[in-house]
Amino acid sequence: MKNLLKTVTECIDKFSKQYNLSRLAAIVGGEAVIMHGIPRTTLDIDVLCYWQTDKNDKDSIVKLLAFFLREELGESYEVNDFEASKDPFDPLKHDLLIITDTERRYKKLDILIANYKWEVEGFAYMDSPDKGPLQIYPKPYLVGMKLMAGGVRDEEDIRDLFLLMTDLEKVKALDIARLIRRDKNLSRILSEDRRGSV
């Protein structure tokens, strides 16, 4: 049996073709951290997607994709969609789809719709975010997403990613942190050891 990520990737490609949209997609979150070579566990797979659409269409893409996935995946999968929070203190800044197989054979799969220019820029540093199997999101941009999320596990991931990054990647991550106004957080995270002390 195909895994959920492959099945959903095929659905995303079919959706893009049906609506004549070019897709950009990458694996993000804990699974991306693991794929970058850091040993850890995760309960889900996160995918960041972006489709170039008119402003009017952008507002409904999550609903349209949710409807499409429900039709394609059938009753074996539950698809829930959520709009990005308007609350500035809520970490959910992305429209989100959560896909779970009803028999719980696979990890839950979350699809986040890219909401920031810098997130879309990250796709430009990938070989082929527009076709084929999904690839890992670049480390500096993954650090940016982890800074936005702001959890304890995210901070651990940031420290671990910095151990693997080249000097150029570190500079880019610092640039992104400044852009999203999380540079002080990044400095604090990098100055602490794994137990949270300086």
**Secondary structure E strands in the chain:** 23-28, 44-51, 77-82, 95-101, 108-113, 135-136
- What pLDDT digit, counting tens, does each position of 131-177 carry? 989 999 999 999 999 999 989 999 999 999 999 999 999 999 999 99
> What is the H or E stretch that residue 20 is in?
none
- Residue written as tokens 């997403």? 145
Say if CB 53 and CB 21 are below 8 A apart: yes
Q: Which residue type, as a one-letter code, is found at position 43?
A: L
Cα atoms in the Cβ-side hemisphere of radius 13 Å centred on 160 = 19
The alpha carbon of residue 164 and the mean position of all alpha carbons in its chain are separated, in whole angstroms, by: 19
- What pLDDT digit, counting tens, does each position of 80-111 carry? 998 887 766 666 578 999 999 898 888 899 99
pLDDT (average), residues 26-55: 92
Say if CB 135 and CB 129 are below 8 A apart: yes
The pTM for the full model equals 0.90
